[in-house]
Structure 1
């Protein structure tokens, strides 16, 4: 059945299933690229450490390192799309957030587009990462502006809402409860049902062929999803579009304390590290970095080889292992290894962020974890922190 003739509830379910498939794909691609970026970044850091400050080759190596940083930003966007990126949730007043961004929003809207706000007084709070909610608002305003090349008006609205079963029957994926609404509406050309069905897909665009598509609205979807919220779009051709973000109301939460880092000078060590990593390039660069910082490194490509060493190798102080590997896997390896060698410290690493690791129960909360890609210093710092 064509999208324009599909009943609303079935269309919502089909869209949700499609986005779920896209998020799984994005998560897998981002994980694989993080392994690649780990190898490139680590080797760049080693080269930069070897080159004198006035060496003309530094600029070339730094350019490669900077490109890795830009690539890492893209994988972060992909993890955001999949709802898997670590966040710093806080109690957020969306009215205050809108007020704080009004000047920037007006600048983004441009001279031909008027920006208006309709904010409900005594507005409820939400539990989310304020930086991510800023990104949601900026992306929605940019998208609204692009829908009105000839000018028009953007309205940013907030409301407190109590959604009852009658409403949620027509919005089957949204449970009843107390919500706050953030809506961004435009007076642009609107969209037909077929266009709306693709709206949150990565790199989908209705702009000209010379415009550069991106992850803007797909990122919005990912941020809202992992904040336990929902996105609904209402659009009429020739009238305009309203994108409505529903987020659960919540009580104030305590801010998360920033971690304290040890001074760089304290990162060296002489302990023995057993490195278990199935990606050859990642294993090689991790070994080189640890050796530079003074550690004795034993490297193996898989869990079976690591377990075999418990019968022969003496004095392993730290097991540094990837989590997702063929066969046993990092978590099971650590359990078996520490059972045979009590007292061995363990540090896990993965191309998946810790939010994804926890959500898929690959790792218990509180265990030491390092996300790829990491810099040489970040690896040395985490190893030193775990060893104490």
Structure 2
């Protein structure tokens, strides 16, 4: 084959030269022989003619630098005009086709002797697909890193907001309607609720939000959201719904799917300040092989697609590349948090789906969300029942929480409800108290993430010595591996921070009421 460091002195037999020429001409990869000094083309093979669009005579009138953008020419000249005889690869070089199209290539160079001249054999390998995969990987790593940061911030804020919102509600309930401080406390509560919503969005983006997936008809969810959307987007925007017949079901959290629809619609509305058309479409999709997109690739399988498109201003490539980053926004200050689309991204990832965006400046935007089609064996969604205020109780409740302020809030809340409280700051301390306590402990409330012993480990240890004790987990940071309480046999026993005293009281009462029968002191002592 052309190109070897001993070729300057090696004389090939005629038959061998003919075979080498055949290999050169028939190679499926483009191969270019250039003068190492002038960079003029000396020979090209058929694959190069097919790839670049120039015929052989046209090639022989060109230099290699004619195929390279101006900003890459110096790099190419340094590689080809050096004295090295070994092969070397040049990445991130673009070659221009005759049509004007630019293609990313890895340019492999071998210094040779050709027609008694110093020459170079250039093998340009199209690396467009590899570049796309690398960009997908970089995007995924960036989003994962930002997601971890967002989840950690949300966890810390949720502890603080539990205290702020909890004591605000307790203080508000102690004030009369005519109290002059009532309005101030209400403002504190409203600010706390807004902050709690921001942390929920951060947790959703980082895929650490607790979800309650059900089998859903996406057409029904879209139709329900459309009622609110008509008021939300304004009369200057036309709303069109295109519902696919016989749409497959999806397995997702209804409130999160509604949030995807609303966030995408609001983003489209803001891109059409002078009015336009917002279209929401559903469709069954099936891919027999991986389907590549700009920043992700859909795995083969059946999907239900939700497409939200607008006739707005569109986005350039730079904006699209940062579209799902938390707090990134192109809106004016005070007109958005920059969490809307990052929340959508988190929901889709948490729902095992994908999201793709197609947009160009002046040509509007189309966002396609792909939900995996649900298995027919999954149970249908049940209807939610309204919740009433929690009744007081007299049971013994153990509270285990490493944050002192949260621990005090839980204790104060439940003591006002009439419960008997046992309080510990860690798992080992809780087990020590449980061993010495000779009466039933009807409920254990434990934080999930604590030093020395996690809430999950504590629950397992507690169940071995007090099998009748109910468990309620609380946390502001919900990794999927520790929130799957159903796998431990503790269904519906998770309360996410920040929670209010009324939410805590209701969760405690509902869990205790679900117990099959009251435990007797005798039964409790026997199990120990």
- The TM tier, using the shorter chain, reads 0.7 to 0.9
Structure 1 pair 57/145, CA: closer, same or farther in 2 (3 Å)? closer
Q: Which residue of 2 aligns with 1:254?
A: 380
Q: Distance in 2 between matches of 1:208 and 1:23?
A: 24
Contact 1:9–1:170 at 8 Å: present in 2 too?
no
Query: Is the 2:456–2:482 Cα contact (8 Å) retained in structure 1?
Result: no
CA contact (8 A) 2:474 2:497 kept: yes
Q: Please say if 1:245 is aligned against 2:369.
A: yes
Structure (1 or 2) with the greater helix fraction: 1
Distance 1:342 1:127, change over 3 A: closer
Aligned mate of 1:44, from 168, 171, 187: 168
Equivalent residue in structure 2 for 1:326, among 438, 441, 451:
451
Q: Which residue of 2 aligns with 1:267?
A: 392
Q: Could you tell me whether the CA contact under 8 Å between 2:296 and 2:356 is conserved in 1?
A: no
Aligned residue for 1:132?
Answer: 256
| Corresponding position of 1:146 | 270
Task: State the match for 1:78 in structure 2.
Answer: 202
Q: In 2, distance between residues paired with 1:296 and 1:31?
A: 29
Do the aligned partners of 1:232 and 1:244 also contact (CA within 8 Å) in 2? yes
C-alpha distance in 2, partners of 1:274/1:210? 44
The TM-score normalised by the length of structure 1 is 0.84
Residue aligning to 1:22: 146
CA contact (8 A) 2:427 2:452 kept: yes
Distance verdict in 2 for CA 1:170–1:379, change over 3 Å: closer
Asked if the contact 1:331–1:362 (Cα under 8 Å) also holds between the matched residues in 2, the reply is no
1:298-329 per-position Cα deviation (integer Å, ceiling 9, x unaligned): 32221222233345443351332212101111
Cα distance per residue 1:264-304 (max 9 Å; x no partner): 4x3221x4333221101001111212222223323222122
**Structure 1 residue runs without a partner (length 5+):** none
**Offset at 1:152?**
4.1
Q: CA 1:160–1:198 in structure 2 vs 1: closer, same or farther (change >3 Å)?
A: same
Which whole-Å deviations, capped at 9, do the CAs of 1:36-57 have from their partners, x for residues lacking one? 1222223223323433443333
**What does residue 424 of structure 2 align with?**
300
Counterpart mapping for 1:1-388 below 5 A: 7-102=131-226, 104-110=228-234, 112-165=236-289, 167=291, 173-209=297-333, 211-250=335-374, 251=376, 253-256=379-382, 258=384, 264=390, 266-269=391-394, 271-315=395-439, 317=441, 318-341=443-466, 343-352=468-477, 357-359=482-484, 365-366=490-491, 368-388=493-513
User: How many Å apart are 1:342 and its aligned residue?
Assistant: 5.3
CA–CA separation in structure 2 for the residues paired with 1:281 and 1:288: 11
Q: How far is the alpha carbon of 1:99 from its aligned partner?
A: 4.2
For structure 2, which runs of at least 5 residues remain unmatched after alignment? Answer: 1-91, 94-101, 105-127, 514-528
Contact conserved, 1:273 with 1:316, CA < 8 A, in 2? no
Q: Which stretch of the first structure deviates more once superposed, 210-219 or 242-251? A: 210-219
- 1:14-57, Cα deviation, whole Å (9 max, x unpaired): 22222222222222222222211222223223323433443333
Give the whole-Å Cα distance in 2 for the aligned partners of 1:187 and 1:129. 29
Structure 1 163/51 Cα, relative in aligned 2: closer, same or farther at 3 Å? same
Compute the displacement of 1:76 (Å): 2.0
Larger radius of gyration: 2
Is the 1:354–1:369 Cα contact (8 Å) retained in structure 2?
no
- In the alignment, the residues of structure 2 paired with residue 385 and residue 239 of structure 1 have an alpha-carbon distance, to the nearest angstrom, of 53
Q: C-alpha separation between the residues in 1 aligned to 2:485 and 2:494?
A: 15
- Report the CA distance between 1:180 and its aligned residue: 2.0
Structure 1 Cα separation of the partners of residues 222 and 414 of structure 2: 46
1:136 is paired with a residue of what secondary structure? helix
Q: Structure 1 residues 210 and 272 mapped into 2: Cα distance closer, same or farther (>3 Å)?
A: closer
| Equivalent residue pairs, number | 385
Q: Distance in 1 between matches of 2:313 and 2:241?
A: 21
Q: Do the aligned partners of residues 36 and 10 (structure 1) sit closer, same or farther apart at CA in structure 2, a change above 3 Å counting? A: same
How big is each residue's C-alpha offset from its partner over 1:67-107, in whole Å with a ceiling of 9 and x where there is no partner?
Answer: 22222222222222233334443443334444444565455
